Protein backbone atom coordinates (compact mmCIF):
# COMPACT_ATOMS: atom_id res chain seq x y z
CA UNK A 1 0.00 0.00 0.00
CA UNK A 2 1.41 3.38 -1.03
CA UNK A 3 1.69 6.39 1.23
CA UNK A 4 -1.31 8.12 -0.36
CA UNK A 5 -3.48 5.02 -0.08
CA UNK A 6 -2.49 4.57 3.56
CA UNK A 7 -3.31 8.20 4.24
CA UNK A 8 -6.76 7.86 2.65
CA UNK A 9 -7.45 4.69 4.64
CA UNK A 10 -6.45 6.39 7.88
CA UNK A 11 -8.60 9.41 7.02
CA UNK A 12 -11.63 7.16 6.45
CA UNK A 13 -10.98 5.52 9.83
CA UNK A 14 -10.56 8.76 11.80
CA UNK A 15 -12.90 11.23 10.11
CA UNK A 16 -16.67 10.60 10.53
CA UNK A 17 -19.00 10.78 7.55
CA UNK A 18 -20.18 14.26 6.68
CA UNK A 19 -17.06 16.00 8.00
CA UNK A 20 -14.77 18.27 5.97
CA UNK A 21 -11.32 17.08 4.89
CA UNK A 22 -9.52 19.72 6.94
CA UNK A 23 -10.32 17.68 10.07
CA UNK A 24 -7.76 14.98 9.19
CA UNK A 25 -4.51 16.97 9.72
CA UNK A 26 -5.99 18.40 12.93
CA UNK A 27 -6.69 14.89 14.24
CA UNK A 28 -3.17 13.71 13.40
CA UNK A 29 -1.70 16.81 15.05
CA UNK A 30 -3.79 16.09 18.15
CA UNK A 31 -2.44 12.54 18.22
CA UNK A 32 1.17 13.73 18.06
CA UNK A 33 0.63 16.34 20.74
CA UNK A 34 -1.18 13.79 22.92
CA UNK A 35 1.76 11.38 22.63
CA UNK A 36 4.19 14.10 23.70
CA UNK A 37 1.97 15.28 26.56
CA UNK A 38 1.51 11.69 27.72
CA UNK A 39 5.13 11.08 28.55
CA UNK A 40 6.01 14.66 29.54
CA UNK A 41 3.39 14.68 32.33
CA UNK A 42 5.09 11.62 33.86
CA UNK A 43 8.72 12.48 33.15
CA UNK A 44 8.46 16.13 34.20
CA UNK A 45 8.52 15.37 37.97
CA UNK A 46 11.18 12.69 37.46
CA UNK A 47 13.30 15.15 35.47
CA UNK A 48 12.94 17.94 38.00
CA UNK A 49 13.77 15.62 40.91
CA UNK A 50 16.81 14.33 38.97
CA UNK A 51 17.95 17.96 38.62
CA UNK A 52 17.85 18.30 42.42
CA UNK A 53 14.53 20.15 42.72
CA UNK A 54 11.78 19.17 45.20
CA UNK A 55 8.06 18.38 45.25
CA UNK A 56 7.04 22.00 45.74
CA UNK A 57 9.13 22.99 42.72
CA UNK A 58 7.17 20.46 40.67
CA UNK A 59 4.00 22.27 41.74
CA UNK A 60 5.49 25.66 40.85
CA UNK A 61 6.52 24.47 37.37
CA UNK A 62 3.10 22.92 36.79
CA UNK A 63 1.44 26.17 37.83
CA UNK A 64 3.71 28.15 35.51
CA UNK A 65 2.87 26.00 32.49
CA UNK A 66 -0.87 26.28 33.08
CA UNK A 67 -0.73 30.01 33.85
CA UNK A 68 1.16 30.71 30.65
CA UNK A 69 -1.31 28.63 28.65
CA UNK A 70 -4.20 30.51 30.25
CA UNK A 71 -2.77 33.92 29.34
CA UNK A 72 -2.08 32.79 25.77
CA UNK A 73 -5.66 31.57 25.54
CA UNK A 74 -6.89 34.95 26.83
CA UNK A 75 -5.09 36.63 23.95
CA UNK A 76 -6.60 34.20 21.44
CA UNK A 77 -10.09 34.81 22.80
CA UNK A 78 -9.78 38.59 22.95
CA UNK A 79 -7.92 39.47 19.77
CA UNK A 80 -7.21 36.18 17.99
CA UNK A 81 -10.05 36.79 15.50
CA UNK A 82 -7.88 39.51 13.92
CA UNK A 83 -5.48 36.91 12.48
CA UNK A 84 -6.06 33.76 10.44
CA UNK A 85 -6.44 30.70 12.68
CA UNK A 86 -3.93 28.81 10.53
CA UNK A 87 -1.24 31.39 11.25
CA UNK A 88 -1.88 31.17 14.99
CA UNK A 89 -1.68 27.37 14.88
CA UNK A 90 1.64 27.53 13.04
CA UNK A 91 3.00 29.92 15.67
CA UNK A 92 1.88 27.61 18.49
CA UNK A 93 3.59 24.62 16.84
CA UNK A 94 6.82 26.58 16.49
CA UNK A 95 6.60 27.50 20.18
CA UNK A 96 6.18 23.81 21.02
CA UNK A 97 9.39 22.98 19.19
CA UNK A 98 11.30 25.73 21.01
CA UNK A 99 9.87 24.61 24.38
CA UNK A 100 11.12 21.04 24.06
CA UNK A 101 14.62 22.00 22.94
CA UNK A 102 14.90 24.64 25.68
CA UNK A 103 13.82 22.24 28.44
CA UNK A 104 16.38 19.70 27.25
CA UNK A 105 19.24 22.19 27.55
CA UNK A 106 18.42 23.98 30.85
CA UNK A 107 19.09 22.71 34.39
CA UNK A 108 18.36 25.69 36.67
CA UNK A 109 14.98 26.32 38.29
CA UNK A 110 14.35 29.94 37.29
CA UNK A 111 15.14 29.56 33.57
CA UNK A 112 13.00 26.41 33.55
CA UNK A 113 10.19 28.38 35.20
CA UNK A 114 10.36 31.02 32.45
CA UNK A 115 10.30 28.41 29.68
CA UNK A 116 7.42 26.61 31.40
CA UNK A 117 5.45 29.87 31.57
CA UNK A 118 6.06 30.87 27.95
CA UNK A 119 6.04 27.43 26.41
CA UNK A 120 3.53 24.67 25.69
CA UNK A 121 4.31 21.91 28.22
CA UNK A 122 1.17 20.24 29.56
CA UNK A 123 1.39 18.54 32.99
CA UNK A 124 -2.29 17.55 33.02
CA UNK A 125 -4.27 14.60 31.70
CA UNK A 126 -6.17 16.71 29.14
CA UNK A 127 -5.26 19.35 26.61
CA UNK A 128 -4.75 22.64 28.43
CA UNK A 129 -2.84 24.62 25.81
CA UNK A 130 -3.41 27.43 23.33
CA UNK A 131 -3.86 24.76 20.65
CA UNK A 132 -7.24 23.83 22.10
CA UNK A 133 -9.49 26.80 21.14
CA UNK A 134 -7.82 27.16 17.76
CA UNK A 135 -8.34 23.50 16.83
CA UNK A 136 -11.86 23.43 18.29
CA UNK A 137 -12.97 26.35 16.15
CA UNK A 138 -11.61 24.71 12.97
CA UNK A 139 -13.23 21.37 13.81
CA UNK A 140 -16.58 22.97 14.66
CA UNK A 141 -16.65 24.53 11.20
CA UNK A 142 -16.02 21.17 9.55
CA UNK A 143 -19.20 19.46 10.83
CA UNK A 144 -22.63 20.05 12.36
CA UNK A 145 -25.17 18.35 14.63
CA UNK A 146 -24.46 14.72 15.55
CA UNK A 147 -21.50 14.68 13.15
CA UNK A 148 -19.88 17.41 15.23
CA UNK A 149 -20.29 15.41 18.44
CA UNK A 150 -18.82 12.36 16.68
CA UNK A 151 -15.91 14.44 15.39
CA UNK A 152 -15.08 15.82 18.82
CA UNK A 153 -15.31 12.29 20.19
CA UNK A 154 -12.73 11.17 17.61
CA UNK A 155 -10.61 14.18 18.48
CA UNK A 156 -10.68 13.29 22.17
CA UNK A 157 -10.20 9.61 21.35
CA UNK A 158 -7.02 10.07 19.37
CA UNK A 159 -5.74 12.40 22.07
CA UNK A 160 -6.39 9.85 24.81
CA UNK A 161 -5.00 6.88 22.86
CA UNK A 162 -1.84 8.71 21.88
CA UNK A 163 -1.42 10.04 25.42
CA UNK A 164 -1.71 6.45 26.67
CA UNK A 165 1.04 5.33 24.31
CA UNK A 166 3.06 8.37 25.34
CA UNK A 167 2.67 7.41 29.00
CA UNK A 168 4.07 3.98 28.16
CA UNK A 169 7.02 5.72 26.48
CA UNK A 170 7.87 7.28 29.84
CA UNK A 171 9.81 4.09 30.55
CA UNK A 172 12.24 4.73 27.67
CA UNK A 173 14.86 6.63 29.74
CA UNK A 174 14.99 3.78 32.27
CA UNK A 175 15.28 1.27 29.44
CA UNK A 176 18.14 3.25 27.86
CA UNK A 177 19.86 3.35 31.23
CA UNK A 178 19.52 -0.39 31.82
CA UNK A 179 20.40 -1.66 28.35
CA UNK A 180 22.72 0.99 26.90
CA UNK A 181 24.18 2.49 30.06
CA UNK A 182 22.94 5.97 29.12
CA UNK A 183 22.74 8.15 32.25
CA UNK A 184 19.13 8.63 33.32
CA UNK A 185 19.33 12.41 33.14
CA UNK A 186 20.50 12.21 29.49
CA UNK A 187 17.63 9.87 28.65
CA UNK A 188 15.19 12.33 30.19
CA UNK A 189 16.70 15.19 28.19
CA UNK A 190 16.39 13.13 25.01
CA UNK A 191 12.64 12.84 25.56
CA UNK A 192 12.35 16.63 25.72
CA UNK A 193 14.31 16.85 22.46
CA UNK A 194 11.74 14.46 21.00
CA UNK A 195 9.01 16.78 22.28
CA UNK A 196 10.57 19.60 20.26
CA UNK A 197 10.80 17.45 17.12
CA UNK A 198 7.13 16.54 17.50
CA UNK A 199 6.37 20.27 17.59
CA UNK A 200 8.11 20.58 14.23
CA UNK A 201 6.00 17.74 12.82
CA UNK A 202 2.83 19.43 14.04
CA UNK A 203 3.95 22.62 12.28
CA UNK A 204 4.20 20.69 9.00
CA UNK A 205 0.69 19.29 9.47
CA UNK A 206 -0.77 22.74 10.08
CA UNK A 207 0.79 23.96 6.85
CA UNK A 208 -1.54 21.56 5.02
CA UNK A 209 -4.62 23.37 6.37
CA UNK A 210 -6.55 25.73 4.07
CA UNK A 211 -6.30 29.41 4.91
CA UNK A 212 -9.97 29.55 5.96
CA UNK A 213 -12.28 26.93 7.39
CA UNK A 214 -14.10 25.08 4.61
CA UNK A 215 -17.58 25.59 6.08
CA UNK A 216 -17.05 29.01 7.58
CA UNK A 217 -19.84 31.20 6.17
CA UNK A 218 -18.98 34.18 8.36
CA UNK A 219 -15.66 35.48 9.69
CA UNK A 220 -14.72 34.84 13.30
CA UNK A 221 -16.06 37.39 15.76
CA UNK A 222 -15.75 38.24 19.46
CA UNK A 223 -18.46 37.16 21.90
CA UNK A 224 -21.86 38.79 21.40
CA UNK A 225 -25.31 37.16 21.68
CA UNK A 226 -23.97 34.13 23.54
CA UNK A 227 -21.97 36.07 26.13
CA UNK A 228 -24.24 35.26 29.09
CA UNK A 229 -24.25 31.51 28.43
CA UNK A 230 -20.49 31.46 27.87
CA UNK A 231 -19.74 33.36 31.07
CA UNK A 232 -21.92 31.03 33.14
CA UNK A 233 -20.27 27.98 31.58
CA UNK A 234 -16.84 29.50 32.13
CA UNK A 235 -17.48 30.00 35.85
CA UNK A 236 -18.62 26.41 36.29
CA UNK A 237 -15.77 25.03 34.20
CA UNK A 238 -13.31 26.94 36.38
CA UNK A 239 -14.48 24.99 39.45
CA UNK A 240 -13.92 21.73 37.60
CA UNK A 241 -10.51 22.87 36.39
CA UNK A 242 -9.34 24.08 39.80
CA UNK A 243 -10.25 20.68 41.20
CA UNK A 244 -8.48 18.88 38.36
CA UNK A 245 -5.35 20.95 38.92
CA UNK A 246 -4.96 19.39 42.36
CA UNK A 247 -4.24 16.03 40.73
CA UNK A 248 -2.77 16.82 37.31
CA UNK A 249 -0.90 13.81 35.95
CA UNK A 250 2.45 15.12 37.17
CA UNK A 251 1.13 15.35 40.74
CA UNK A 252 -0.79 12.07 40.51
CA UNK A 253 2.47 10.49 39.37
CA UNK A 254 4.20 12.05 42.37
CA UNK A 255 1.40 10.69 44.60
CA UNK A 256 1.98 7.19 43.21
CA UNK A 257 5.73 7.61 43.83
CA UNK A 258 5.27 8.78 47.42
CA UNK A 259 2.27 6.66 48.52
CA UNK A 260 3.09 3.31 46.93
CA UNK A 261 6.70 3.59 45.73
CA UNK A 262 5.93 3.09 42.03
CA UNK A 263 8.76 3.63 39.54
CA UNK A 264 8.41 5.93 36.49
CA UNK A 265 8.04 2.83 34.29
CA UNK A 266 5.28 1.40 36.50
CA UNK A 267 3.51 4.77 36.59
CA UNK A 268 3.78 4.92 32.81
CA UNK A 269 2.13 1.50 32.52
CA UNK A 270 -0.70 2.67 34.79
CA UNK A 271 -1.30 5.80 32.73
CA UNK A 272 -1.18 3.75 29.52
CA UNK A 273 -3.96 1.47 30.77
CA UNK A 274 -5.91 4.41 32.19
CA UNK A 275 -5.58 6.20 28.86
CA UNK A 276 -7.00 3.23 26.99
CA UNK A 277 -10.01 3.20 29.30
CA UNK A 278 -10.48 6.95 28.84
CA UNK A 279 -10.27 6.55 25.07
CA UNK A 280 -12.92 3.85 25.08
CA UNK A 281 -15.27 6.00 27.13
CA UNK A 282 -14.84 8.93 24.76
CA UNK A 283 -15.63 6.72 21.79
CA UNK A 284 -18.87 5.71 23.51
CA UNK A 285 -19.76 9.30 24.39
CA UNK A 286 -21.64 10.15 21.13
CA UNK A 287 -23.90 7.10 21.45
CA UNK A 288 -24.65 7.91 25.09
CA UNK A 289 -25.28 11.57 24.23
CA UNK A 290 -27.76 10.62 21.50
CA UNK A 291 -29.79 8.69 24.08
CA UNK A 292 -29.65 10.95 27.14
CA UNK A 293 -28.39 14.29 25.78
CA UNK A 294 -25.08 16.15 25.97
CA UNK A 295 -25.68 17.68 29.40
CA UNK A 296 -26.79 14.43 31.06
CA UNK A 297 -23.80 12.61 29.59
CA UNK A 298 -21.48 15.23 31.05
CA UNK A 299 -22.98 15.01 34.54
CA UNK A 300 -24.05 11.41 35.05
CA UNK A 301 -20.72 9.91 33.99
CA UNK A 302 -18.52 12.50 35.70
CA UNK A 303 -19.94 12.37 39.23
CA UNK A 304 -19.43 8.61 39.81
CA UNK A 305 -15.86 8.95 38.55
CA UNK A 306 -15.12 11.47 41.26
CA UNK A 307 -16.60 9.27 43.95
CA UNK A 308 -14.02 6.67 42.86
CA UNK A 309 -11.25 9.25 43.17
CA UNK A 310 -12.22 10.04 46.76
CA UNK A 311 -12.20 6.36 47.71
CA UNK A 312 -8.86 5.83 45.93
CA UNK A 313 -7.32 8.51 48.14
CA UNK A 314 -7.97 6.40 51.25
CA UNK A 315 -7.50 2.94 49.69
CA UNK A 316 -5.62 0.51 51.96
CA UNK A 317 -3.26 -0.79 49.27
CA UNK A 318 -2.03 -0.15 45.74
CA UNK A 319 -4.28 -2.79 44.16
CA UNK A 320 -7.49 -1.20 45.47
CA UNK A 321 -6.26 2.32 44.67
CA UNK A 322 -5.36 1.48 41.07
CA UNK A 323 -8.64 -0.38 40.53
CA UNK A 324 -10.61 2.67 41.66
CA UNK A 325 -8.48 4.95 39.50
CA UNK A 326 -9.10 2.67 36.51
CA UNK A 327 -12.86 2.88 37.08
CA UNK A 328 -12.50 6.64 37.29
CA UNK A 329 -10.60 6.67 33.97
CA UNK A 330 -13.36 4.65 32.32
CA UNK A 331 -15.92 7.33 33.24
CA UNK A 332 -14.28 10.69 33.88
CA UNK A 333 -13.35 11.64 30.30
CA UNK A 334 -16.70 10.88 28.67
CA UNK A 335 -17.65 14.49 29.33
CA UNK A 336 -14.74 15.88 27.29
CA UNK A 337 -16.13 15.55 23.74
CA UNK A 338 -19.69 16.21 24.91
CA UNK A 339 -18.61 19.36 26.77
CA UNK A 340 -16.86 20.69 23.67
CA UNK A 341 -19.79 19.82 21.42
CA UNK A 342 -22.16 21.46 23.92
CA UNK A 343 -20.22 24.75 23.93
CA UNK A 344 -19.95 24.78 20.13
CA UNK A 345 -23.71 24.09 19.81
CA UNK A 346 -25.04 26.74 22.19
CA UNK A 347 -23.16 29.66 20.60
CA UNK A 348 -23.44 31.17 17.12
CA UNK A 349 -20.88 29.93 14.53
CA UNK A 350 -18.87 33.19 14.34
CA UNK A 351 -18.47 33.16 18.14
CA UNK A 352 -17.05 29.63 18.36
CA UNK A 353 -13.35 30.49 18.54
CA UNK A 354 -14.01 33.17 21.15
CA UNK A 355 -16.36 30.89 23.11
CA UNK A 356 -13.81 28.08 23.13
CA UNK A 357 -11.14 30.50 24.34
CA UNK A 358 -13.28 32.13 27.01
CA UNK A 359 -14.46 28.81 28.42
CA UNK A 360 -10.88 27.52 28.32
CA UNK A 361 -9.36 30.59 29.97
CA UNK A 362 -11.00 30.23 33.40
CA UNK A 363 -10.24 26.51 33.24
CA UNK A 364 -6.59 27.23 32.58
CA UNK A 365 -6.35 30.00 35.18
CA UNK A 366 -8.11 27.94 37.84
CA UNK A 367 -6.08 24.83 37.10
CA UNK A 368 -2.90 26.92 37.14
CA UNK A 369 -3.41 27.89 40.79
CA UNK A 370 -4.12 24.48 42.25
CA UNK A 371 -0.99 22.44 41.29
CA UNK A 372 1.09 24.52 43.69
CA UNK A 373 -1.47 23.83 46.41
CA UNK A 374 -1.47 20.14 45.53
CA UNK A 375 2.32 20.05 45.56
CA UNK A 376 2.40 21.79 48.94
CA UNK A 377 -0.05 19.27 50.40
CA UNK A 378 2.03 16.38 49.11
CA UNK A 379 5.25 17.95 50.38
CA UNK A 380 3.68 18.38 53.85
CA UNK A 381 2.73 14.71 54.00
CA UNK A 382 -1.03 15.14 53.45
CA UNK A 383 -1.03 12.62 50.62
CA UNK A 384 -4.77 11.96 50.49
CA UNK A 385 -5.91 15.59 50.73
CA UNK A 386 -5.46 16.64 47.05
CA UNK A 387 -7.45 13.65 45.75
CA UNK A 388 -10.30 14.08 48.24
CA UNK A 389 -10.56 17.82 47.60
CA UNK A 390 -10.49 17.23 43.84
CA UNK A 391 -13.32 14.68 43.97
CA UNK A 392 -15.53 16.77 46.23
CA UNK A 393 -15.16 19.94 44.16
CA UNK A 394 -15.82 18.11 40.91
CA UNK A 395 -19.04 16.63 42.29
CA UNK A 396 -20.13 20.15 43.27
CA UNK A 397 -19.40 21.27 39.69
CA UNK A 398 -21.51 18.44 38.27
CA UNK A 399 -24.49 19.42 40.40
CA UNK A 400 -24.11 23.10 39.53
CA UNK A 401 -23.95 22.35 35.81
CA UNK A 402 -27.08 20.22 35.91
CA UNK A 403 -29.08 22.78 37.90
CA UNK A 404 -27.99 25.73 35.73
CA UNK A 405 -28.53 24.29 32.24
CA UNK A 406 -31.10 21.51 32.52
CA UNK A 407 -33.77 23.66 30.78
CA UNK A 408 -31.57 25.06 27.98
CA UNK A 409 -32.40 23.65 24.54
CA UNK A 410 -29.39 22.79 22.39
CA UNK A 411 -29.66 23.72 18.67
CA UNK A 412 -28.26 21.43 15.97
CA UNK A 413 -26.53 24.11 13.85
CA–CA separation, 184 and 80 (whole Å): 41
Residue 177 scores a pLDDT above 50? yes
Question: What's the pLDDT band for 259 if we cut at 50, 70, 90?
Answer: confident
Rounded Cα gap, residues 257 and 35, in angstroms: 22
Distance (Å, whole) CA 232 – CA 401: 9
Provide the domain count of the chain. Answer: 1
Q: Is residue 410 part of a domain?
A: no
Residue 327 lies in domain: 18-405
**What does the alpha-carbon distance between residue 394 and residue 236 come to, in Å, rounded to a whole number?**
10
Would you say the pTM of this structure is higher than 0.75?
Answer: no
What pLDDT, on a 0 to 100 scale, did the predictor assign at position 121? 84
Domain-located, residue 244: yes
11 lies in some domain: no
Q: What is the mean pLDDT of the chain?
A: 81
pLDDT cut 70: percent of the chain above it: 83
pLDDT of residue 216: 45
Would you list the DSSP string of 2-35?
-HHHHHHHHHHHHSPTT--TTHHHHHHHHHHHHH
Residues 350-398 have pLDDT tens digits of 667 677 767 766 676 777 778 878 888 888 888 888 899 999 999 999 9
* 208 in Cβ contact with 25 (< 8 Å): yes
Within a domain: 122? yes
Q: Which residue has the higher pLDDT, 53 or 11?
A: 53
Domain with 387 in it: what CATH number? 1.20.1250.20
Query: HSE-up of 368 (CA within 13 Å, CB side)?
Result: 21
Sorted by sequence, the CB contacts under 8 Å of residue 339 that are 6+ apart come out as: 237, 294, 298
Is residue 40 in some structural domain? Answer: yes
User: Helix, strand, or coil here: 132?
Assistant: helix
Is residue 297 a part of any domain in this protein? yes
Judge whether 78 lies within some domain: yes
Task: Note whether residue 258 is domain-resident.
Answer: yes
Return the pLDDT at 222. 54
Q: What is the phi/psi pair of residue 382, to 5°?
A: -85, 70
User: Is the pLDDT at 322 greater than 50, yes or no?
Assistant: yes
Amino acid sequence: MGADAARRALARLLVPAGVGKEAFPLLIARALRGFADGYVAILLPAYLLALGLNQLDVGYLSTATLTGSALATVVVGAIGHRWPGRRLLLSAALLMAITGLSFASISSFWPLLVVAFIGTLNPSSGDASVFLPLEHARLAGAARGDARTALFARYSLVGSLSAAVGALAAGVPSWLNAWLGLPLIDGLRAMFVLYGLIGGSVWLLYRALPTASIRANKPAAPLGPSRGIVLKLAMLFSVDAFAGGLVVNSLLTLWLFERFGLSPGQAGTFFFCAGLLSAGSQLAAPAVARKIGLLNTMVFTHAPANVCLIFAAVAPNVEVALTLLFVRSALSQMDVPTRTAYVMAVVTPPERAAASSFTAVPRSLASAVSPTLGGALLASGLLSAPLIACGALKIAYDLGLLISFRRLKVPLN
